[in-house]
Amino acid sequence: MTTTSIRPDGRQADQIRPLEIVQGLLHRPDGSAQFALDKTSTLAAVYGPMEIKIRDEKVDRATIEVNYKPLTGQSGVRDRWVEFNVRRTFEGVVLTALHPNTLIRIELQESRVHGSEISAAFNAATMALMDAGVPMRTIVGSVSCAIDDQGTLLLDPTEHEIETATSFHIFAFDSEMQGALFNDSIGSFTPEQYNACHEICRKSVSKIFSFMRTAVEKKLLTQVQQLQKE
C-alpha cells in the first residue's frame, strides 16, 4: 500500500482538499454552519433545545433528530442511513441529560457534491452544534479514505475516486482521539488495508479539528470587535 502518488487534482494521496468553514450564516436556526472540502459542501442548521411533542419526550434526556437532504431529488434509503448514523453518533456526544424533555434538531443539506459528502455532513453538524451553544462532551471530526486498484490509499477522495475505488471507508473521531465514534466500510479490502485507512484518517483528522478551532476563534474575535465598536 502506498500514499505517495499524485492525483488528478494535484494533491498527494495523503492530502485533504482545501477546507472552508462558515458559521452563523443562517438567522432562523439557533446555530448554523457550512463545511466545505473544496467542491464538496454541506450546510447544517441546528434548532433547540426546544419544546417537543409530549409523546416524544424523554424524561431523562433531550431527543436528537436529524434530517438529511440530498442536493437534488427526493430523500432515499441512503439519506435515511446518513440520518440514523449522524443521530446515533451525536447522541453519544451531546450532553442530552442537561436538557430533558426537549428536542435538538439537526438539518443537513448537501450544497455541492464532489465526494466524501458524509464526512462533510458530520463536520458541518459539529460546527452548527457549537454555533448553537449545544453542550458536548467532545467534538466530532470526520475523514474518508478510498483504496484504488493499485492499493494506493487516497485520503478525502473525490466522487470519481470513490466510484473507481476497490473500497471506501468513512471514519468519525472524537477530539480526544480515543478511537472511532463511527465507521463504515464498503468494497473489498484486507484487515491490513482497513487498519491503514483507519490510521491515516485518525492522523489526518487533527487537521480538521485544528481548522474547526481556528474558525471558532475567528468568529469569536469578530464578535468581540463588533461589540467594541458599539
106 part of a folded domain: yes
Name the grid cell of 140: 466530532
Q: How many structural domains is the chain composed of? A: 1
13 part of a folded domain: no
213 part of a folded domain: yes
2 part of a folded domain: no
Q: Where are the alpha helices (DSSP H) in 76-190?
A: 77-91, 117-131, 159-163
36 part of a folded domain: yes
Give me the domain span that covers residue 85: 19-229
7 part of a folded domain: no
Among 11, 75, 15, 22, smallest CA distance to 215 is for: 22
Name the grid cell of 110: 448537501
Q: Tell which phi-psi region holds residue 180, choosing left (phi > 0), alpha (psi between -120 and 50) or beta.
A: beta
150 part of a folded domain: yes
5 part of a folded domain: no
Q: Quote the CA–CA distance of 212 and 19 in Å, as a whole number.
A: 10
What is the DSSP code string of 182-220? EEEEEE---HHHHHHHHHHHHHHHHHHHHHHHHHHHHHH
CB 32 within 8 A of CB 25: yes
CATH code of the domain containing 63: 3.30.230.70
Task: Render each residue's pLDDT in the chain as its tens digit; 230 residues.
Answer: 555 568 999 999 999 999 999 999 999 999 999 999 999 999 999 999 999 988 888 899 999 999 999 999 888 999 999 999 999 999 999 999 999 999 999 999 999 999 999 999 999 999 999 999 999 999 999 999 999 999 999 999 999 999 999 999 999 999 987 789 999 999 999 999 999 999 999 999 999 999 999 999 988 887 777 777 77
Measured over the CA atoms of residue 2, residue 160, residue 203 and residue 181, the dihedral's sign is negative
